[in-house]
Amino acid sequence: MNSHRKLALLAAVGVPLLFVAVITLQTRIDVSTAAEVQSQQELLLSSGTVIKRLSLGYDALLADIYWTRAVQYYGSNAGIPGVKFPLLWPLLDITTTLDPKLTPAYRFGAVFLSEQSPVGAGEPELALKLTQKGIAANPQDWQMNATEGFLYYWYLREYQKSSEAYLAGSKNPLAPGWLAMMAAQVVLKANETNTSEMIWTEIYNSTPNPSIRKSALLHLEGLHASQDIEALNQLAQKYHSIYGHYPASVDVLVQAGLARTTPVDPSGLPYIYDADGRAQLNPKSEIVIESGPATPPKVYNN
C-alpha cells in the first residue's frame, strides 16, 4: 500500500471519527453553557433607527428577520406560567422602525402585547402605542383603526376613544360597514355581550393567523357560555318557583320540560348547578368565562 492510499484510508476512517468527537464535545459545551445562553437572551442594539442606518440598505430584509425573531420569541415563551416578555416591545419597535409598512407586525404584535400573561405580555398600552405608530405609517389601512378601537374597548375600557378609532377607520373607502356600526355600538352598549361577541367574531373572521383565530374562538366560546349561564340561572329560578327548590343538575330541567336537551357548554360538557341554583361550568371544562370588556379571563390570573 503506497503512502497516498494509506492517507486516503486514514482520512476515510479518521474524519468521521473526529466529527463524532467534535459533536460529542459540542453537546457537552452546550450543556455547560445552557444557563449562560439563557441569560444572553437580550438585544445588543435596541434602537431601530441605529439598526436601520447600519443595515446598509437591507432594512426591509432585516425587518423580516426581526419580525421572525419576535414571533419565535413570543412563541417560545407564551404559555409558561408567570412569563414576562421584556424583549417583545423592543423587537416589535425595531421591526416597525426598519419597515414601517410591515402591517402584520403591528396587527399580530398588538395581540401578543395586549393579552394577559402567560398568553401575552399584558401591556395593552404598548399595544396601543404600536398600533398608533402603525396608523401613522399606514393611514390607508383601516384594520389598524379597528385594532386601536378594539384595544380601547376590550383592554382599556375607554369607550369614547374606541368609538373614535372605529369611526376614523370607517371613513376609509375600503373599510367594511361594520366599522361604522361598531363606532356607535361601543359607546351605546359598551358592556353588552353582543358587542363583545361582534368584535371577536370580526377578529376571528378577518385574521388568517391560527393562534389569533384560536384566541378569538376561546373568547367567543367564553361569551357563549356566559350567555348560557345567564339563561340557566333564569331557568333555575323558574324551576324553584314551580317545585320550591333548585334543580340538582341540568338534566332535571329536561325532565321538568324546561329544556329540550341537556344544556352543554361549547366544549360539549354539561353545565352544573350549585346548591343555590347558580349555573356553573363543568369543572372539567376548558372554557373561560369573561365578565365583560377589560376583565382578564380567569385562566390568565392563575
Partner 1 sequence: MSSIPAVVAVNTFREAVRDRVLYNLIFFALLMMGAAILVGQISVGIERIVIVNLGLSSISIFGIIMAIFIGVGLVYKEIEKRTLYSLLAKPIKRWEFIVGKFGGLLLTLAVNTTFMLLGLFVALLYVSRHLERGDWGIVEAAYFILLQLALITALALFFSCFSSPMLSTLFTLGIYVAGLFSKDIREIGALTKSPVVEWACKAIYYALPNFHNFNVIALAGHGQPIPASLLWQNTLYAALYVLILLLASAAVFSGRNLK
How does DSSP classify residue 283? T
Show the 3-state SS of 174-217.
Answer: CCCCHHHHHHHHHHHCCCCHHHHHHHHHHHHHHCCCHHHHHHHH
Q: φ and ψ at 112, to 5 degrees? A: -60, -40
Q: Which is nearer to partner 1, 25 or 50 (CB)?
A: 50
Q: Which is nearer to partner 1, 77 or 196 (CB)?
A: 77
Q: φ and ψ at 164, to 5 degrees? A: -65, -40
Amino acid (one-letter) located at 120: G
Q: Please give the residue ranges that form the binding site for partner 1 (CB under 8 A).
A: 53, 56-61, 63-64, 67-68, 71-72, 99, 101-105, 107-108, 208-209
CB of 8 to partner 1, least distance (A): 26
The grid coordinates listed for 165 are 378609532
CB of 121 to partner 1, least distance (A): 16
Say how many C-beta atoms besides its own lie within 10 A of residue 87's C-beta. Answer: 19
For the packed helices 103-114 and 142-150, what is the interaxial angle rounded to 10 degrees? 10
Query: Which residue is it, cell 422602525?
Result: 97
CB of 27 to partner 1, least distance (A): 24
Q: Which is nearer to partner 1, 137 or 198 (CB)?
A: 137
Q: Which is nearer to partner 1, 1 or 56 (CB)?
A: 56
CB of 110 to partner 1, least distance (A): 12
Q: Which is nearer to partner 1, 29 or 60 (CB)?
A: 60
CB of 68 to partner 1, least distance (A): 4
